[in-house]
Chain A
């Protein structure tokens, strides 16, 4: 139970980092998953789930007021499902679980922002009268709301992960197919994101150059 407690705390920290506190990028799946794996004593499972979900996260461009999936908590939940599993084929179902949790996290972001807006409208007269305490109060409540969101999403994620871990939902063939499809979807998604960022000119050329360099590394290794 102790590692699950620590991994829950890690999930909350990851959820807070996504938008509200710091944005030091511990919420990136490659960090969130790997650290969750280390906490649970299965670093490699965390790295596998984290790297798989990072491919999906590379498509996200968090500009303006856009809402985006919480892949960090998704990676934490996915790692709980994959840690100490007898077969690497569990990565597929763990990553799918991560995607579901990421989507739940995205819905949570919308709820938190709406509540923040409601709170702001209530305190608007004080803000417009120049009350600095109202500024601090809104910031404090925003952090508390985000903490609650991270706690709820992490809780849902870990509960689903324990269900996946202890109830055999898939045959070996289905698990294999799911892993193949999720890895393929992740690679396609990351390529889409990179091509969108690069545009049609110089950026795309550098992306293609990188692909070629990666292929050379594989051949040399």
Chain B
């Protein structure tokens, strides 16, 4: 029951995100159903913390269990500091660089080749099965392990997932790109399709090698601005 309440609260872990304590207050908000009213615990719970939001329930469970087990102040601080970098790294690799692009690539392919509704449903179901499972598994593992939570992160299932998910994401986005490009440009003449390919190449060279900090959004806006100015000068 208390774990369920903590899981629901974990969906708001980034609501109070700030530049001082990052998701520290959100972590305390998640931990609340798992710890008693002791003010010292509350004060410790909402100190600086940052990690991948989906893996933060693991930290919430582990820290709450450690508090309940009367861990020492230094054990609690050590656990908290260790989890910051570890959960950030694992979560970024598994979710942002893995599951998300993999599911998005598949969703794009389904939108184009089957139906838009099938594509978005496929994307949401595939992504959120992993998403909610990670939160729930993390919370339960943390709550069961306390200060020994490192064992859960070293589990073969996690390590195997990390090895598989990156290549899967690359393959999925790779598969989607030609299919999406053909779909978006299907009504255009060959010369226009070649023009789009040239722009794509420029975006790739700039974004990957020459000016990575520019980002896709700014490149798109600059290119669009150029076309709009050209249109105004030469209607």
Contact = CB atoms under 8 A, between A and B. Distances in A.
A188 B50 CA distance: 32
Contact of A181 (B180, B207, B208, B223): B223
A34 B32 contact: no
Interface stretch (B41-49, B71-79, B138-146): B41-49
Contacts of B182: 218
A164 interface: no
Contacts of A55: 180, 216
Contacts of A192: 203-204, 207-208, 216
Interface stretch (B62-70, B109-117, B150-158): B109-117
A64 B88 contact: yes
A202 interface: yes
Interface residues of A, number: 110
A158 interface: no
Contact of B231 (A59, A130, A170, A184): A170
Given A185-B200, A211-B177, A174 B32 contact: no
Contact of B219 (A185, A194, A209): A185
Interface in B1-34: 11-12, 14-22, 25-26, 28-29, 32
A135 interface: yes
Nearest to B128: A24
A184 B203 contact: yes
A217 B112 CA distance: 12
B85 to A, nearest CB: 11
Contact of B216 (A46, A139, A143, A185): A185
A90 to B, nearest CB: 13
Question: Number of contact residues on B: which range applies?
Answer: 35 or more
State the main secondary structure of chain B at its contact with A: helix
Given A127-B43, A142-B15, A56 B217 contact: yes
A146 B170 contact: no
A83 B178 CA distance: 25
Contact of A187 (B131, B169, B196, B215): B196
Nearest to A184: B199
Given A136-B29, A185-B219, A210 B227 contact: no
Given A103-B217, A181-B195, 5 more contacts: A120-B18, A177-B227, A185-B199, A207-B174, A210-B172
> Would you list the 7 A-B pairs with minimal beta carbon distance, nearest first?
A210-B174, A188-B203, A130-B39, A184-B199, A189-B216, A192-B207, A174-B231
24 contacts: A19-B17, A21-B12, A28-B123, A30-B104, A51-B184, A52-B184, A55-B180, A56-B217, A59-B207, A92-B224, A130-B41, A142-B17, A143-B12, A177-B227, A184-B198, A184-B200, A185-B216, A194-B101, A194-B169, A205-B167, A205-B170, A212-B174, A218-B178, A221-B113
Interface of B: 11-12, 14-22, 25-26, 28-29, 32, 37-43, 45-46, 50, 53-54, 88, 92, 96-97, 100-101, 103-105, 107-108, 111-113, 116-117, 119-120, 123-124, 127-128, 131, 166-185, 187-188, 192, 195-204, 207-208, 212, 215-217, 219-221, 223-224, 226-228, 230-231, 235
